[in-house]
Amino acid sequence: MRNRILGVALSAGMLVAAGPAIASADTTRGTGSTGGTGGWTPVTYTARDYAAGNVCSFELKEDFPTQGVEERIVAAYPDGSPLRTDFRGPLIARFTNVATGAQAEGDLSGAGTLYNLPDKSSLWTIPDNFGLTVHAGDPYHAQGEWVLSGGSVLSVSPTGQVAVLYQAKATDVCAELS
């Protein structure tokens, strides 16, 4: 499987856990230094290991053999916290079913924008592709590892629950590795 998705969003608990990092849904796939509002700074994604039943029915490992994503704070609140963050660049994710050894790669390269809202929720707009990790118990989206391609808009609640407002295409990574 070679899918293009933006991996910045959804990677840690927010990863939709949103933005470079949140909880119940995985929306951020990494972290980066903000370094002000003008320049692009690198984002580093760390390997993830999800216990069986948390994301897929089996233990899922995700690592990033190719990274080159950058982020840029475009607008900030008066306290300096990010309001709007843009992401761009190459990112390859490798997904592994630990029980069987089956693997799939996802090309998470692309661009996207994260809006951190005053109520601590967030909104992601992705014109091309995105990686989405949704943990068990999220009432608004089926759990799993998803590759959203062709454009997506996602909302992440302050508690990390994901609502997909628009998606052109969704690929179920867990199903592909079963």
Query: What is the spatial distance between Cα 99 and Cα 103, in angstroms, rounded to a whole number?
Result: 11
Residue 57 CB-half CA count within 13 A: 7
pLDDT at 43: 93
What is the residue-averaged pLDDT of the chain?
A: 81
Q: How far is CA 166 from CA 21, 56, 111, 126, in A?
A: 21, 23, 16, 10
Q: What is the domain count for the chain? A: 1
Asked if the structure places residue 170 within a domain, the reply is yes
Distance separating alpha carbons of residues 85 and 18, to the nearest angstrom: 11
Quick check: is 158 in a domain?
yes
Task: Quote the CA–CA distance of 133 and 174 in Å, as a whole number.
Answer: 10
User: What CA–CA distances, in Å, run from 137 to 11, 77, 144, 157?
Assistant: 17, 32, 11, 14
pLDDT digits (tens, 9 = 90+) for 74-128: 999 999 999 999 999 998 899 999 999 999 998 888 999 999 999 999 999 999 8
Q: Is residue 38 within 8 Å of 28, Cβ to Cβ?
A: no
Q: Tokens 């119940």 — which residue?
A: 24
Q: Residue 1 domain-assigned? A: no
Residue 151 within any structural domain of the chain = yes
**Which pLDDT tens digit goes with each residue over 52-80?**
999 999 999 999 999 999 999 999 999 99
Of 117, 143, 142, 114, the residue nearest 130 (C-alpha)? 114
Residue span of the structural domain in which 167 resides = 25-177
Tell me which DSSP letter residue 105 carries. Answer: E
